[in-house]
Amino acid sequence: MEYEILEKSAEIPVYDPTALAVQYIDAGFLNDAEEVTEKEVTAVLERIGKPMQAYLFLDPDGEASFLEILSDGKWLALGCSYDFGQKNYYSYNLDYADSGEYTPLKSGGQSPVEKRLALTDFAAGRKAVEYFIRTGKPYPGIYWAKQP
């Protein structure tokens, strides 16, 4: 599949570092919580770079728009899905732009993730996850592949 590659920006828009756009978190390492708090946000951010699978939803019912986070400790794949899958963005790794290889990660538990759609820079990945948590938008500080 071909993607539209969105360039990363050196300038990150100012955002409220205490805002919570995410309304529901589905992650096996967290206990179910009625409401997303800084405790859950911290737990998610501390897991970036370690094996994990989590979904961060912008709606409290966990249905419409979300960020999928997949990591095995070597690779980190981020996928933003909006409007029930009508708009999709995936983290993009220029180092593997021409690679047809796959990571061990499986999106949704079944779809293999290409290396070009997974990051190895966990610091940038952590910033991208926090930005999504706070704003509900893809982080402009990394490349994204937009699904046509």
- Work out the percent of the chain whose per-residue pLDDT is above 70: 97
Does the pLDDT value for residue 25 go beyond 90?
yes
Q: What angle (nearest 5°) sits at the alpha carbon of residue 1, between those of residues 26 and 12?
A: 55
Per-residue pLDDT band for 33 (boundaries 50, 70, 90) equals low
pLDDT tens profile 56-72:
999 998 888 999 999 99
Nearest to 76 by CA among 136, 126, 145, 1: 126
Per-residue pLDDT band for 32 (boundaries 50, 70, 90) equals low
Does the pLDDT value for residue 28 go beyond 90?
no
Question: Which pLDDT does position 35 carry in this prediction?
Answer: 84
Average confidence score pLDDT of the chain: 94
Count of CB atoms situated within 10 Å of the CB of 3: 16
pLDDT tens profile 70-123:
999 999 999 999 998 889 999 999 999 999 999 999 998 889 999 999 999 999
Mean pLDDT of 118-140: 98
pTM, to two decimals = 0.94
**Single-letter amino acid code for the residue at 125:** G
